[in-house]
Amino acid sequence: MIPHMDLPVITEAPPQMDWWLLAPLLTVFAAGVLGVLLEAFAPKERRRGIQIVLAVLALLATFVLLVLQVGTLPADEPGVTVAAGVLAVDRTVIFFQGTITVLALISLLLISERRDGRDAFAAQAATVPGSEEERAHILAGSQHTEVYPLVLFAVLGMLMFPASNDFLTMFIALEVMSLPLYLLCGLARRRRLFSQEAAVKYFLLGAFSSAFFLFGIAMVYGYAGSVNFGEIRTAVEAGGAEIFQGGDGEPLLLMGIGLVAVGLLFKVGAVPFHNWKPDVYQGAPTPITALMASCTLVAAFGALLRVFFVPFGGSIEAWQPMLWVVAVLTMVVAAVIAVTQRDVKRLLAYSSVVHAGFILTAVVAGSTDGLAGAMFYLAAYGFTTLGAFAVVTLVRTKDGGQELGDLERWAGLGRRSPGLAGALALFLLAFAGIPLTSGFIGKFAVFEAAVAAGAAPLVVVGVLSSAVTAFFYVRIIVVMFFRDPEGEGPTVVRAGAATGGVIAIGVAATLLLGVYPGPVLDNLLPSSETGPEPVAVMVDQATTETGSAAASE
């Protein structure tokens, strides 16, 4: 028996499309489509240049549009829904989208970097690794300029993911985001089998988690009779759709929440759904790893926050214990495993898992402060992690050789190139949460929200895990600065303008957000004190419930 069904597509009048508010998404989408066409029509030798310009311009335009949008949002309301209610536009969403756009732009710098005419991607992905054919393509200087439209499509998915206002849109966004990433992961120029293995792993596990997500959506639909977030929220508060009486739909909702959570927690890489992260981060071309570590994480957390705060905001007591467990597991397990890592990209992957755990403490808080803390943390972490991966692309086994993953062989880097090692040291200290870096402010923001919501034990676990993670960050610094190079030591290739720029931006953002975070915290993030003005739809609907729930604890 199907409960009432009024999906917007069935209405007779065409849905109200607010083109202006859709413009950022459409820009990225159009640029992606144009990029595909360019692959067919633009002359081979000029394709790469055109693609880069197109992608950069598209993302720049998107960012400008997003900034302009903030001014046109109704001042007294938190936000609006567009395109027949499938997408929400509010200040929180725009913050997420803006962050994703900026981080994607920076990643694009890394992606476009070339050395000796070669970028980080396979000359011809269709050739068998090690074959004659591959050699021929390498010698001919083939390259995959499809990378750029693929990145644009992935970014489109990321922009939609936290903005979705119903579960179907969110699922589509998830797939739009993930499919190009699966492909991009398999495109590494060096160690191609490794890269392809990573792609397959990511794809299989990702598809698996998507299925969970979809299954969860079905459960929630069965419970609420709608996929729309607002209606689900109403249904949750009312104890289920009309057909249920006396809370006998509760199991459906709980299963739905659990299964949807699996899909989302997979994307953020929380334990026990983290296994893909180290393999994929290690195997993927490093610029793509950087893109995933920054933008994908922001998008996934944006969606996670949205799902838990808006449709499930009314049943905070149902999902809070679950996220408690996941957060504790994530912080503890990942920190302990990370200690044993020897490869820098794997280590950064586990570090990313631990950070996801820290951010989850803010989600557990279920408050406006938690939302704001998570938002700040994500932005700060994004810049820092991009910088860190940019450094990774520069340290090689030999000039023109592959990246040097083995940390032990990074010995003496601080002596060989103090600037680069210094920058990485700063990023690591930010990861460790040392004051005067953005990492500390972020950590303070999320932990403060958790303590205020009565989750002090969670924060104690968090700081202990921080202490463990500090150990391996510090170990890298020891290797770089305090140890003599073995033999030749690592080779540091000269940073091109793009990579150098990424590192510089990372350093600047890490210090600026650490020393003077006031403007961002006060103006861009939702706050429970300043009234409805900066508060987003997401929060506005959630605070009434979660705020009181948190206060009552």
Q: What is the Cα–Cα distance from 194 to 198, expressed in whole angstroms? A: 6
Minimum distance from residue 353 beta carbon to another protein (Å)? 19
Minimum CB–partner distance for residue 419 and another protein (Å): 10
C-beta of residue 358 within 8 angstroms of C-beta of residue 374: no
In the bound state with another protein, the residue whose beta carbon lies nearer, of 207 and 478, is: 478
Residue of 235, 231, 262, 263 whose CA lies nearest to 249: 235
Nearer of residues 209 and 510 to another protein, judged by Cβ: 510
Residues 235-274 that bind another protein (CB under 8 A): none
Cα(315)–Cα(404) distance, integer angstroms: 48
Q: For residues 68 and 339, which CB has a smaller minimum distance to another protein in the complex?
A: 339
Of the pair 6, 553, the CB lying nearest another protein is at: 553
- In 10 A of CB 512, how many CB atoms? 15
Residue selected from 474, 493, 511, 512 as contacting another protein according to rule CB under 8 A: 474
Three-state DSSP class for residue 534: coil
Which helix or strand (DSSP H or E) is residue 108 part of?
helix 91-112
How many angstroms separate the Cα of 429 from the Cα of each of 117, 337, 416, 466, 474? 34, 19, 20, 11, 8
CB hemisphere CA count around 32 (13 angstroms): 19
Q: Between 211 and 478, name the residue whose CB sits nearer to another protein.
A: 478
CB atoms within 10 A of CB 453: 25
| Shortest distance in whole angstroms from residue 297 CB to another protein | 23
Q: Nearest approach, Cβ of 396 to another protein (angstroms)?
A: 16
| Distances in whole angstroms, Cα of residue 462 to Cα of each of 369, 435, 439 | 17, 16, 14
Query: And the tokens for 22?
Result: 């859709």
Altogether, the residues listed in the chain come to a count of 553
* 377's tokens: 């943390």
Q: What's the CA gap between 298 and 528, in Å, rounded?
A: 22
Rounded to a whole number of angstroms, the minimum distance from the CB of residue 522 to another protein is: 6
**Minimum distance of another protein from residue 61's CB (angstroms):** 31
- Cβ nearer to another protein, comparing 248 with 408: 408
Judged by CB under 8 A, the stretch of 3-11, 192-200, 304-312, 473-481 that binds another protein is 473-481
Asked if 264 contacts 299 with a C-beta cutoff of 8 angstroms, the reply is no
* Of residues 25-64, those binding another protein (CB under 8 A): none
Options 196, 466, 499, 541; binder of another protein; rule CB under 8 A? 466
Residue 481 binding another protein, by CB under 8 A: yes
Given the rule CB under 8 A, which of 35-43, 69-77, 290-298, 443-451 is the region that contacts another protein? 443-451
**Min separation Cβ 162 and another protein, Å:** 22
Site for another protein in 381-440 (CB under 8 A): 414-416, 429, 432-436, 440
* Residue 235 token pair: 């249904």
> Are 499 and 394 a contacting pair, CB within 8 Å?
yes
Nearest to 309 by CA among 414, 449, 439, 440: 449
Lay out the site mask for another protein across 444-463 (x = CB under 8 A, - = otherwise): xx-xx--xx---x--xx--x
Of the residues 17, 478, 508, 551, which one makes contact with another protein according to CB under 8 A = 478
DSSP per position, 363-419: HHHTSHHHHHHHHHHHHHHHHHHHHHHHHHHHEESSTT--B--BGGGGTTHHHH-HH
Residue of 26, 64, 67, 464 interacting with another protein (CB under 8 A)? 464
Q: How far is the CB of 309 from another protein (least distance, A)?
A: 20
Indicate which single residue of 115, 191, 396, 483 sits in contact with another protein (rule: CB under 8 A). 483
Taking the complex as a whole, the smallest distance from the CB of residue 488 to another protein amounts, in Å, to 12
Footprint of another protein on 191-230 (CB under 8 A): none
Measured from the CB of residue 472, what is the shortest distance to another protein in angstroms? 11
Nearer to another protein, 114 or 398 (CB): 398
Which CB sits closer to another protein, 263 or 433?
433
- Least distance from C-beta 534 to another protein, angstroms? 11
Whole-Å CA distances, 162 to 27, 52, 120, 307:
17, 26, 29, 9
Closest to another protein by CB, 37 vs 464, is: 464
Name the CA dihedral angle for 474, 478, 481, 482, rounded to a multiple of 10 degrees. 150
Residue (26 or 515) nearer to another protein, CB? 515
> Which parts of 509-528 interact with another protein (CB under 8 A)?
517-518, 521-522, 525, 527
Min. distance of Cβ 161 from another protein in angstroms?
A: 27
How many positions of this chain bind another protein (CB under 8 A)?
39
To another protein, the closest distance from the beta carbon of 434 in angstroms equals 6
Please give the Cα distance from 412 to 104 (Å, whole number).
Answer: 32
Region of 539 (left: φ > 0; alpha: ψ -120 to 50; beta: rest) is alpha
Q: Which is nearer to another protein, 120 or 450 (CB)?
A: 450
Residue 53 or 456: the one with the smaller Cβ distance to another protein is 456
Q: Is the dihedral of CA 165, 23, 377, 471 positive or negative?
A: positive
Closest CB to another protein among 324 and 481?
Answer: 481
Contacts of 437 (CB under 8 A, 6+ apart): 384, 426, 429, 430, 510, 511, 514
Q: What does the binding site for another protein look like in residue numbers (CB under 8 A)?
A: 414-416, 429, 432-436, 440-441, 443-445, 447-448, 451-452, 456, 459-460, 463-464, 466-467, 470-471, 474-475, 478, 481-483, 517-518, 521-522, 525, 527
